[in-house]
């Protein structure tokens, strides 16, 4: 199968996963007595109906793009980085802490510093399971799951015990960062009627291009993909699989840390104690899988998930559909992404039946020609 055919098949599988998810959601709405057409119309209107809702949709998609990119890098090296939530949380806390601690610095210094420290915190959080996997063979899945809880409670401890009182607005949240540390861009806010869209979308688009370039055009990207395909063969070819494992996890964590930076300096502009793991980590994994790990696919998948999230908020008001059903639609899409093997199998069988039908038809024509005295 050529690369172009495989790409077409991957796109078809992703689109079918979305379509099946929406169909299952519509069936569930019908079963419970709701109008799916009114529900989906309300969803689109609530997420894309005005410039403000468009701004909120893009704002919701921004951290998803970054966490999905982080998952994609680790996945290319053959790892399942489930610690994106904890790594994003590290980036969120670190960037806000720096923005508040060095409040007197000018914006041109403070914003890059806060972004760098946030990305560094995420990279450090991901380097731990990377080193353990490279040198001790531990499961990165178990380690990252446990680290998610450690970072969650560590962030709470930092807010309660380590941050200066002057940084806190209440027991569980910090004050907002200054305007010279914020990622909000007045032109974007004005255009979208004061939505939460911010400069994070620029960071996300730059990250999309850079990671595409790194993975497709550089030696490091080639090494990461080689280790992901076969670490033993890569070692035999002179590629250090241990170094590549650690580097891929550091890149993955840095991208997740940037997602936390966007949440802290862009969307919320402060940090508040979290009751559980950040949803952007797990949603980012689904976005990456739906987008097949490609830059373009991740961008559109993140927008789709954001439409579901933002649009779902309007469904109870406009169409009377409970928000829980929206979550069922999202879960259905993730389910069909997870079982994409079945969709691929169905597509393969359909193609095989078409080929068999063509061969049978050709055989019958050949037989008729032979009976009539041979092929003309």
- Site of tokens 């790194």: 214
pTM: 0.86
**What number is the average pLDDT over the span 328-337?**
74
Q: What is the pLDDT of residues 131-148, one digit of tens each?
A: 999 899 888 889 999 999
Q: Residue 324 has what pLDDT?
A: 77
Question: 89 to each of 150, 175, 349, 376, how far by Cα in Å?
Answer: 11, 17, 44, 74
The whole-angstrom separation of Cα 147 and Cα 284 is 18
| Residue 374: predicted pLDDT | 46
Give the residue-averaged pLDDT of 196-219.
92
């Amino acid at each position: 199968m050529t690369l172009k055919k495989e790409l077409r098949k991957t796109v078809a599988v992703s689109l079918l996963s979305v379509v099946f998810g929406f169909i299952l959601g519509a069936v569930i709405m019908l079963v419970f007595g709701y109008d799916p057409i009114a529900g989906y119309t309300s969803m689109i209107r609530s997420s894309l109906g005005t410039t403000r809702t468009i701004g909120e949709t893009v704002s919701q998609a921004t951290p998803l793009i970054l966490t999905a990119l982080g998952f994609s890098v680790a996945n290319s090296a053959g790892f399942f980085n489930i610690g994106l939530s904890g790594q994003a949380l590290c980036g969120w806390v670190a960037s806000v802490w720096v923005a508040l601690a060095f409040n007197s610095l000018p914006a041109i210094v403070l914003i890059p510093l806060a972004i760098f420290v946030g990305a560094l915190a995420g990279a450090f959080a991901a380097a731990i399971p990377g080193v353990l996997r490279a040198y001790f063979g531990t499961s990165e899945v178990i380690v990252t799951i446990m680290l998610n809880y450690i970072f969650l409670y560590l962030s709470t401890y930092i807010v309660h015990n380590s941050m200066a009182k002057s940084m806190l607005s209440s027991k569980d949240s910090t004050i907002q960062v200054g305007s010279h540390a914020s990622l909000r861009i007045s032109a974007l806010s004005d255009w979208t009627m004061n939505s939460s869209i911010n400069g994070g979308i620029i960071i996300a688009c730059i990250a999309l291009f850079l990671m595409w370039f790194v993975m497709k055009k550089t030696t490091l990207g080639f090494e990461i993909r080689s280790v992901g395909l076969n670490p033993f063969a890569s070692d035999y070819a002179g590629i250090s699989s241990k170094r590549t494992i650690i580097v891929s996890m550091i890149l993955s964590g840095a991208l997740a840390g940037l997602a936390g930076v966007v949440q802290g300096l862009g969307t919320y502009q402060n940090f508040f104690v979290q009751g559980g793991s950040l949803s952007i980590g797990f949603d980012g994994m689904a976005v990456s899988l739906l987008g097949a790990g490609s830059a373009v696919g991740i961008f559109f998948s993140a927008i789709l998930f954001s439409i579901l999230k933002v649009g779902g908020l309007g469904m109870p008001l406009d169409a009377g559909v409970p928000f829980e059903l929206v979550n069922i639609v999202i879960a259905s899409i993730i389910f069909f992404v997870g079982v994409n093997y079945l969709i691929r199998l169905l597509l393969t069988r359909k193609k095989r039946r078409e080929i068999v039908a063509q061969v049978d038809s050709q055989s019958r024509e050949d037989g008729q020609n032979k009976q009539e005295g041979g092929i003309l």
